[in-house]
Amino acid sequence: MQSRRSLIGKKSLSTQNITLMALVIAFRLALGMLPAISIPPFVQIGFGFIGSALMGALLGPALAAGIGGIVDVLDFFIGGGSWGYFFPGYTLSAIVAGYFYGKGFYRQDVTWKRTFMTVLLNTLVVNLLLGSLWVYLMTDKGLFAILPIRLVKNLISLPLNTFIIYKLLNHPTIKRLLREWRI
């Protein structure tokens, strides 16, 4: 029997896979609603990266990117967004982050080096480049005025995020989940 293919080149989505994606969305939304550690005026350290990394490891780059965008839009409608209005730049950032985590962790051995490189790529592209650009566009503050504080925040969060993601994705229960439920 020939397997059907979907538009993303994987086997057609089963009810089980759709349910898994819904659970990942719910988990990612719940993590995003945990109070972020705020350092005024422009720095927030949140927990959504944990859900994004797990999403990438479970779903792969294409699905993690798409669901990252969906989660960002849902998060706005449920929680009102960080700024009080919808900004599509952050949706693009969520898509790119999901893609990077999917490329870094989907069907890969999660080593310290792989984890660090994946988190570093997300930190440089999504947080520092895109995130700083979005803050600049939304607040009209000088880009070079906000970049130093964002750089410090990301220098602090890079090793923390690397450690948390490495430990999480190498936990025996999570490893079993990834083996048995990966799409």
- At 4, the amino acid letter reads R
In this predicted structure, the answer to whether residue 24 has a pLDDT above a threshold of 70 is yes
| pLDDT at 3 (0 to 100) | 42
pLDDT tens figures, 30-72: 998 888 777 676 566 788 899 999 999 999 999 999 999 999 9
Give the domain ranges of the chain: 15-181
Q: Place 2 in a pLDDT band, splitting at 50, 70 and 90.
A: very low
| pLDDT at 17 (0 to 100) | 87
Q: Which whole number is the average pLDDT over 82-109?
A: 92
**What letter does residue 124 receive in the DSSP assignment?**
I
H helices of the chain, where?
A: 15-33, 48-79, 88-105, 112-121, 132-139, 143-169, 172-181
User: Is the Cβ–Cβ distance between 45 and 157 less than 8 Å?
Assistant: yes
Task: Report d(CA 27, CA 95) in Å as an integer.
Answer: 17
Q: Which whole number is the average pLDDT over 123-140?
A: 90
The overall average pLDDT reported for the chain is: 87
134-159: b (≥16 Cβ within 10 Å) or e:
bbbeeeeeeeeebeeebeebbeebbe
| pLDDT at 8 (0 to 100) | 56
| pLDDT at 35 (0 to 100) | 83
Q: How far is CA 48 from CA 6, 16, 43, 44, in A?
A: 28, 24, 15, 11
Task: Report d(CA 152, CA 169) in Å as an integer.
Answer: 26
CATH (residue range 15-181): 1.10.1760.20
Q: Place 96 in a pLDDT band, splitting at 50, 70 and 90.
A: very high
Least confident of 9-23, 81-95, 145-159: 9-23
Task: Report d(CA 155, CA 31) in Å as an integer.
Answer: 22
Task: Report d(CA 183, CA 10) in Å as an integer.
Answer: 9
